[in-house]
Amino acid sequence: MGSQTRKVLLTPLMHSARPFRVSNHDRSSRRGVMASNLKELLSKTLDALVITSGLVTLVLEEDGTVVDTEEFFQTLGDNTHFMILEKGQKWTPGSNYVPARQQPKRSGIARITFDLYKLNPKDVIGCLNVRATMYEMYSVSYDFRCTGVKALLRGLLRFLSHAAQVTGQFLIYTGIYMLRVLGDTEEQASPRSRSRHL
């Protein structure tokens, strides 16, 4: 019984067949192939594309990377696109090939976004979020929250009430002062007029 257990544990795990796409060097013939390892993929690719040459090289269609080890093959995902190259053939980029090191083109220098929102439906003003993105790489944002609208309005009304009181007091004192000045001038003017009449 122990030998049977040992035999089951020591047998290598078989990978299930996965889907891959293969094409010839000029991409004129494309096929889908199911394979569980690199050797099986090469064999099925040669049969599917009817290639009789014994010496072939398997490369990734997207960038021409040679796939020649089982370990690297097992890291590749399902539906990976491969290209089979016969002796003397070289990988060439396809029509939609974009080099990995090429930086994407930038559409602009900066973008500023304003976002108005309310935390509570009863809020009058709400909040404002300002976000600035430079070169589509760096982003800065700030959130203006106006949650105390009632307190802000109370403070504004308190200030206006105080300003009205001060203005009223100023007008009263100015009026009293003007009456005193005018009253003094009238009193000074009236004794002169009495002396003229005598």
For residue range 25-77, what is the model confidence (pLDDT) as tens digits?
Answer: 888 888 888 888 888 888 888 888 888 777 888 888 888 888 888 888 888 88
For position 174, what pLDDT does the model report? Answer: 92
Split at pLDDT 50, 70, 90, the class of 1 is very low
- In this predicted model, what pLDDT tens digit does every residue of 102-142 receive, in sequence order? 555 556 678 888 888 777 777 767 788 888 888 777 888 88
Instruction: List, as own/partner pairs, every contact residues 144-150 make where C-beta atoms lie below 8 angstroms and the sequence separation is at least 24, other chains included.
Output: 145/119, 147/119, 147/120, 147/123, 149/123, 149/124, 149/125
Q: What is the pTM of this model?
A: 0.43
Mean pLDDT of the chain: 78
For position 14, what pLDDT does the model report? Answer: 62
At the topology level, CATH places domain 2-86 in Ubiquitin-like (UB roll) (3.10.20)
Split at pLDDT 50, 70, 90, the class of 173 is very high
For position 97, what pLDDT does the model report? Answer: 53
DSSP assignment string, the chain: -HHHHHHHHHSPPPPPPEEEEEE-TTSS-EEEEEESSHHHHHHHHHHHTT---S-EEEEETTT--B---HHHHHHSPTTEEEEEEETT------TT---TTSPPPPS-SEEEEEEEE-SSTT-SSEEEEEEEEETTTEEEEEEEEE--HHHHHHHHHHHHHHHHHHHHHHHHHHHHHHHHHHHHHHHHHHHHHHHHH-
What would the mean pLDDT of 153-178 be, rounded to a whole number? Answer: 90
